[in-house]
A and B are shown apart, each in its own frame.
Chain A
Amino acid sequence: MQSITPPAVSGFDEMFAREGAVRPHYSSYHGWLLGQSNELLHRKRQEAELLFHRVGITFNVYGEESGAERLIPFDVVPRIIPEQEWRHLEQGTAQRVRALNQFLDDIYHGQEIIRAGRIPADQIYGNAHYQPCMQDVDLPNQVYSHVSGVDLIRDGEGTWYVLEDNLRTPSGVSYMIENRRVMMRLFPELFAGQSVAPVEHYPSLLLDTLQHSSAVAYPTVVLLTPGRFNSAYFEHAFLAQQMGIELVEGADLFVKDGFVYMRTTAGPQRVDVIYRRIDDDFLDPLAFNPDSMLGVPGLLSVYRQGKVVLANAIGSGVGDDKSIYPYVPEMIRFYLGEEPILENVPTRLCRRPEDLQYVLEHLPELVVKEVHGAGGYGMLVGPAASREEIDSFRQRLRARPDNYIAQPTLSLSTCPIFVEQGIAPRHIDLRPFVLSDGRATRMVPGGLTRVAMNAGSLVVNSSQGGGTKDTWVVEAPSC
């Protein structure tokens, strides 16, 4: 018999309704869970860790001794989403990504959204991720963000919000796939009992997307990684292997006579599509950061001639920046003529004097983020911060207000996880992955659920000790 710590009275829990009743889509799993002993779950978790270690599913942490590898904590309790709810999320995220791709194409061409007065021009030109070199460059299918990760959260009422868009090099999809494999190995009986939508075909969808991003008939696709010391290297190797494409580093590629080639044991081979997991700044030392050892000299000139496809496109970052985020609902209306299906978290831009005033007065209750930040670095979580931390943040805010945005502290929904004493609630979010190739916007049902492993914590980033769990989209019980 399993002991289950109930979720907090306020807030939204994925498994339990407020009165403690089990939500219908969890009823089958909950019944099973009650019958499992602590010892069994403990053993299963150890088994999972062994599997992850064996397969080498580790990640490197920045700032730690070079080469230090850790496992991302894995929880054995799945996060379950009813199929109907998933349809809503799928439509909402796909809508968003369609609008963002049109936005990027517009920004780098006619800039109608600026001329229509929907977004201030300085928000674009002053943006660190806006790449002037991309102006008037025509891309095949007009697709910029081939692979997008959209971070979703739920507030205390259970309402879904988009927390942020990731259009540069969103990572984590390998954990989505490996978590499922491990769960199926550990608990086959659970998958026999109900229909969990599969996610393992993601790599073949991705390969299809990359192949169709090029006008070449049978394009050679490669995955460009910064190398084995990158925190997401495991994922790069995993995806390249699953797609059956070469995993290359900058030094493996070179530019000659207007094309990109890779060095092989049989001589140079032409490359048509590069799924790059390197930031813009490091792609081409001739065009961007001259100190970069990771990139390919001359790549940008080939790219601008349309002789190679980069996924995602150079300059896509202007669409996922936190200062652009507040305008996404407006983009949906402007480009698609639709109302946004998913809501934005209400966001204050500290560059606006009235917003800055409000933020400075309400720091202890707000979450403040750097507009170009990522990975949970450089942010202030008001309710969790000390007086000193808040004061020092206040000074940074005053010094560079346009570098920050602020949002209310949403509680994030909770989902039970297995801890030493049994089952207890922890905060989670969700990152589904969206694939775009101009013909279609596709997703696999599910995504990566990230977990704040410490009680009460709202920080789910793996770089800050967050964990993951498997995400199930299940058909609602027919009763």
Chain B
Amino acid sequence: MLSRTASDLYWLSRLVERAENTARMLDVAWNLSMMPFVANPRDEMMAPLMISGTHELYMSRHDDVQVREVLHFFTLDQDNPGSIFNCLRLARENGHAVRGKITAEMWESINSTWLELKEIRRGGLDQYGASAFFDWVKKRSHLFRGATYGTIMRNDAFRFLRIGTFIERADNTARILDVKYQIGTLYGSHHGVPSGGDAMDFYRWHALLHSVGAYESYRELYSEAINADRVAELLVLGAEVPRSLRSCMQMLCELLPAIEGQTGQTAKRLAAVQFARLQYGDLEHVLDTGLHDYLTDFLRRINELADTIREEYLEVV
């Protein structure tokens, strides 16, 4: 497969995944900000800015963290390169470039998403409703994934699409977990882990699980009350949870060696090493390292893997 085509496919699915995760993250932050025990709704709206590393960009254009402004910034703002609007716009451009490599149904899915998004933007977020919008983004992402899964051949095009998804998802899960822990720390908890038990903590972890669609998994796997350690275990090491770091790495370890040809030795090795760390890791080790340090290290590794994939497979020149 052409390196440029692989790159466009990779970014197509990566950007759709990013749009979905942004919607999930915002949905939670916004819901929490409306909780009666939240002293200041702005604190909750800080989380998405910290997770995505766009705090400085936001503050360069706004005086203050306001709920409405943050929502706009992440959804329909044309000037935020990471807004859902721009993610889906670029995803569609990447899809356009590889129209011949994806199925008609995949293209129609991403193209009609873009056409509807332009309509939504014309009316504004207030008119559409923030909750309805987040649901819409998730649905469009599900639709695209479903069209991909259900129609495309299991060839390298499929693999690069999936690789983009899991690189982005691993990165996002790690970030969202990290920031929730840090916010927990702000409210005073032992060794960076919220103590659990009070209503605030319950809703916070409850919301985090919801944001990654893992609430039901938690309920099924653990019979104990929702607490920070278990949430971390689930999202870092959970073998059966599709958004856990372990699951993402497992998928990458299956996908990379299946690509035709002998290229990409370094990428395959990095993925295998990181998967082994999760596969044979345990919660004690994670907590002893400190979750924040552990996730920082993971983010560094997943970015190194992404850079290597780019160099070995995707770079045109």
Contact = CB atoms under 8 A, between A and B. Distances in A.
B189 interface: no
Interface string B44-76: 000000000000000000000000000000000
A247 interface: yes
Given A228-B93, A251-B317, A252-B316, A265 B107 contact: no
Given A55-B107, A251-B4, A252-B3, A265 B263 contact: yes
Contact of B2 (A55, A234, A237, A246): A246
Contact of A56 (B107, B260, B317): B107
Interface stretch (B94-102, B135-143, B177-185): B94-102
Contact of B262 (A238, A240, A263, A267): A267
A53 B92 CA distance: 13
B261 A228 contact: no
Contacts of B115: 53
Give the interface residue-count category, chain A: 20 to 34
B294 interface: no
A9 interface: no
A241 interface: yes
Interface string B86-125: 0000000100110111001001100110010000000000
A448 interface: no
Interface string B252-293: 000000011111100000000000000000000000000000
A262 interface: yes
A266 B156 CA distance: 10
A264 interface: yes
B1 interface: yes
Contact of A265 (B6, B100, B112, B317): B6
A344 B316 CA distance: 47
Contact of B261 (A53, A54, A265): A265
Interface in B135-177: 156, 160
B298 interface: no
Contacts of B107: 55-56
Contacts of A264: 1-3, 261
Interface SS of chain A: helix, strand, loop or mixed?
Answer: mixed
B158 to A, nearest CB: 13
Contacts of A246: 2, 5
A248 interface: yes
B263 A237 contact: no
Contacts of A247: 5, 100
A241 B1 CA distance: 13
Nearest to A266: B261
Contacts of A249: 4
A252 B242 CA distance: 35
Contacts of A55: 104, 107-108
Contacts of A251: 4, 316-317
Contact of B3 (A54, A56, A240, A265): A265
B201 to A, nearest CB: 46
Q: For B3, B100, B316, which residue has the most chain A Cβ atoms within 10 angstroms?
A: B100
A262 B100 contact: no
A56 B4 contact: no
Interface in A134-152: none
Q: How large is the interface on B (under 10, 10 to 19, 20 to 34, 35 or more residues)?
A: 20 to 34
A266 B263 contact: yes
A96 B6 CA distance: 42
Interface in A206-235: 228, 234
Contacts of B104: 55
B44 to A, nearest CB: 37
A106 B29 CA distance: 74
- The residue in A55, A234, A252, A265 that gathers the most chain B C-beta atoms within 10 A of its C-beta is A265
Contacts of A267: 261-263
Nearest to B261: A266
A263 B260 contact: no
A306 to B, nearest CB: 25
A264 B6 CA distance: 8
Contacts of B112: 54
B152 to A, nearest CB: 13
Contacts of A262: 2
B1 A265 contact: yes
B313 interface: yes
Interface in B1-47: 1-6
A256 B118 CA distance: 45
Contacts of A56: 96, 99, 107, 111
B306 to A, nearest CB: 15
B99 A252 contact: no
Interface in A241-292: 241, 246-249, 251-252, 262-267
Nearest to B315: A263
A2 B112 CA distance: 34
A344 B138 CA distance: 60
A6 B317 CA distance: 60
Contact of B97 (A53, A54, A228, A238): A228
B111 A248 contact: no
B316 A265 contact: no
A267 B1 CA distance: 9
Contacts of A240: 100
Interface in A37-53: 53
Nearest to B99: A237
A265 B313 contact: yes
Contacts of A237: 99-100
Contacts of B261: 264-267
A27 to B, nearest CB: 36
A265 B309 CA distance: 10
Contacts of A53: 111, 115
A65 B45 CA distance: 36
Contact of A228 (B96, B101, B313): B96
- In this complex, the member of B97, B262, B314 whose beta carbon has the largest number of chain A beta carbons within 10 angstroms is B97
Nearest to A228: B97
A453 to B, nearest CB: 24
Contacts of B313: 265
Contacts of A234: 99
Contacts of A238: 99-100
Nearest to A262: B2
Interface in B225-275: 259-264
Contact of B100 (A54, A241, A263, A266): A241
Nearest to B3: A263
Contact of B316 (A54, A228, A263, A266): A263
11 contacts: A234-B99, A237-B99, A248-B4, A252-B2, A252-B316, A264-B261, A265-B1, A265-B156, A265-B261, A265-B264, A267-B263
Given A56-B107, A265-B314, 8 more contacts: A53-B115, A56-B99, A56-B111, A228-B97, A241-B100, A252-B4, A265-B156, A265-B261
Interchain residue pairs A-B with the least CB separation, the first 7: A266-B261, A241-B100, A237-B99, A237-B100, A263-B3, A265-B313, A251-B316
